[in-house]
Amino acid sequence: MRQALATRLSIALLAVVAVVGAATLLAPTVLRDPPGYAGNAIGTWAVALFVAAPVVALAMRAAARGSLGARIVWLGGVGYLLYQGILSSFSLQFDALFLLYVASMSLGVWTFVAVLATIDIDELAAHLPQRFPARLVGGYLVATALAFAALWLADVLPAVLGGSRPLSLRGTTLPTNPVQVIDFAFTLPASFVAGVWLWRRRPRGYVLGGAMLVLLLIESVSIAVDQYAGHRADPTQPSGTVALFIALTLVGAVPAVMFLRAIGARGAKARDTSVGV
């Protein structure tokens, strides 16, 4: 029952993402934002359509076959789509796709909850990988959370103390930076807590930690692409972050692959054992 609900919601979410992604790429004039920011949005939805959506679809299919690791990948992929649904709903100028942005956000919330409900913590606890470097990966998540918190605070605090606007808002019509809002409120605390739980080898740390590894990996790809697209649309936009996030993608792929191999191997052994019995 839970699996069926999560699958139906995911299909609906993927359908909305497909429509928004295709409309944004094929008819970019639908966007009413400044060229650079519109370019960012085009890059973001390209990644949502061609990277995140296939990840969710493939993970959903593997989860239906009993893969525990796939459920965690599924959760992380949906988390990324939720992130982008929130970002588009609150940062893009009102346009013809507004209701679809909100639909992607709403479906993202309910799909995330539904997928989370399909993960059996007791089952996971019984098959935790003993040789997995949980402290190393947990430390990576904590360090990532602290590094981005410091980066955003370096932008926000001088503006707060000086009574000015943060540098990240210059050239935009935004009242606040929605990325900072989402990160301060959800992404960075989730990464930090997941890292601490993984350090302590708590089962819930494997669920949240694995999902965050997937989300952050796709987000690194997304930022590299959207910054490149934004620079192409408006050459005055900085492009230095493209190389940085390509590097972060390569770095982030290492713990993500390690995690998925460890969870996947344990899940496969558990299924083989149950079949043998």
CA distance 6 to 13: 10
pLDDT at 272: 41
Position of tokens 């590894």? Answer: 213
pLDDT at 270: 44
pLDDT at 156: 96
Query: Which residues are CB-contacts of 63 (< 8 A; sequence separation ≥ 6)?
Result: 3, 70, 71, 74, 118
Token pair in block for residue 218: 């796709």
Question: Of the candidates 24, 68, 67, 63, which has an alpha carbon nearest to the alpha carbon of residue 42?
Answer: 24
pLDDT at 273: 38
3-class SS of residue 193: helix
pLDDT at 264: 67
pLDDT at 172: 75
C-beta separation of 217 from 253 below 8 A: yes
pLDDT at 132: 83
Question: Measured in whole angstroms, how far is the alpha carbon of residue 107 from the centre of its chain?
Answer: 15
pLDDT at 275: 32
| Reduced DSSP (H G I as helix, E B as strand, rest coil) percent helix, strand, coil of the chain, to 5 | 85, 0, 15
pLDDT at 276: 36
pLDDT at 274: 39
Provide the domain limits for residue 246. 2-276
Alpha helix segments (H runs only) across 200-239: 203-233
C-beta separation of 104 from 17 below 8 A: yes
Using CA atoms, how far residue 220 sits from 69, 99, 225, 242, in Å, is: 21, 27, 9, 10
C-beta separation of 168 from 180 below 8 A: yes
> What domain count does the chain have?
1
Position of tokens 């900072």? Answer: 180
**Residue-level length of the chain:** 277
Whether this prediction's pTM lies above 0.85 is answered by yes
Token pair in block for residue 171: 């050239």
Question: Of the candidates 70, 25, 34, which has an alpha carbon nearest to the alpha carbon of residue 237?
Answer: 34
CA distance 3 to 14: 16
Position of tokens 């019509």? Answer: 173
Low-confidence ranges of the chain (pLDDT < 70): 171, 264-277
Position of tokens 């989860």? Answer: 63
CA distance 43 to 242: 12
